[in-house]
Amino acid sequence: MTQKICVVTGVGPGIGKACCEFYASKGYHIVMMARQKDYLEAVASELNGSATVMPLDVTDEQAVKQAFASIMADYGQIDILIYNAARGCFGSFLEVDPKELELNFAINTMGLLYCARAVAPSMIERGAGSIMVTGNTAATRGGAKFAAFAPSKGAARLLTQSMAKELGPQQVHVSYLIIDAAVDGPFARNLCPDEEDDFFIQPAAIAESIWYLDQQPSNCWTFELDLRPHRESW
């Protein structure tokens, strides 16, 4: 039986790494994408040879096309794309550098478009596949000091919804995850040093939720899933 392929963008020490570990545990070959080759190689070394390292800037459309063409040439098909690449910055709309918003759009929205366009045709052709997009509550509302971030996440959510409506009838499952929480890891722990463990959401739990969405039958698909710790107010 041909080994299934999972592509994860934005592989870092939180959600991205957890998704790689989870899908590797399910027998998938993992293709890991991020800018930092050294970090990707370190993660790959922990996955017992079931991973391919592919440094990539998702804002480079031509590089994205070439990367996905290479994956399909080597493996034949991609079963799931987890788009986890993201960038954020914060500040008053009166003061923020407009270039920051442009870069957030480039990664959060345009990168998603490039990756989805690269992988969707082969999924459509065989009538199977999943595209899972990680996001957050900034995609649903614009808070104060979020002017350089929320617009790009809202655009990504709407893009994902448009993709889901177009690809669903062609048996390609597209879902968006709203992660309303501080994701456990060194960065979040440093920001919230006095919080107890149950304040944070666990990356492994997010990966398991992505798996749940990925495995849903086509007669019962979820487009949008909210994830938050029980302590989170909403």
Q: What angle do CA 104, 185, 131 make, to 5 degrees?
A: 50
Instruction: With respect to residue 231, please indicate whether it lies within any of the assigned structural domains.
Output: no
| pLDDT for 43 | 92
Instruction: With respect to residue 94, please indicate whether it lies within any of the assigned structural domains.
Output: yes
Instruction: With respect to residue 123, please indicate whether it lies within any of the assigned structural domains.
Output: yes
Distances (CA, A) of 30 to 20, 125, 142, 175: 6, 22, 34, 20
| Sheet of strand 29-34: strand arrangement | 51-55, 29-34, 5-9, 80-83, 130-135, 173-179, 224-227
CATH code: domain of residue 217: 3.40.50.720
Report which of 62, 50, 73 is spatially closest to residue 122, judged by C-alpha positions: 73
Instruction: With respect to residue 172, please indicate whether it lies within any of the assigned structural domains.
Output: yes
* For range 18-39, the mean pLDDT: 94
210: tokens are 């992505």
* For range 114-121, the mean pLDDT: 98
83-103: b (≥16 Cβ within 10 Å) or e: bbbbbbeeeeeeebeeebbeb
Structural domain count, the chain: 1
59: tokens are 């804002």
Instruction: With respect to residue 95, please indicate whether it lies within any of the assigned structural domains.
Output: yes
Instruction: With respect to residue 234, please indicate whether it lies within any of the assigned structural domains.
Output: no
Residue with the larger pLDDT of the pair 29 and 49? 29
Report which of 158, 155, 152, 134 is spatially closest to residue 213, judged by C-alpha positions: 134
List, as one string, the DSSP characters of 77-122. Answer: --SEEEE-------B-TTTS-HHHHHHHHIIIIIHHHHHHHHHHHH
**Residue 103 above 70 pLDDT?**
yes
pLDDT in tens, 178-233: 998 888 888 888 888 888 888 899 999 999 999 999 999 999 999 999 999 998 88
Quote the CA–CA distance of 163 and 109 in Å, as a whole number: 13
pLDDT in tens, 73-91: 999 899 999 999 988 878 7
* For range 51-80, the mean pLDDT: 95
Q: Would you say 58 and 48 are in contact if contact means Cβ atoms under 8 Å apart? A: no
pLDDT in tens, 120-154: 999 999 999 999 999 998 888 888 888 888 889 99
3-state helix, strand, coil in the chain (%, to 5): 45, 20, 35
Residue with the larger pLDDT of the pair 32 and 91? 32
Instruction: With respect to residue 233, please indicate whether it lies within any of the assigned structural domains.
Output: no
Biggest CA pair distance of the chain = 57
Instruction: With respect to residue 232, please indicate whether it lies within any of the assigned structural domains.
Output: no
**Residue 2 above 60 pLDDT?**
yes
Domain range for 189 is 5-225
**Residue 1 above 60 pLDDT?**
no
**Residue 3 above 60 pLDDT?**
yes
**Residue 21 above 90 pLDDT?**
yes
Confidence of residue 64 (pLDDT cuts 50, 70, 90): very high
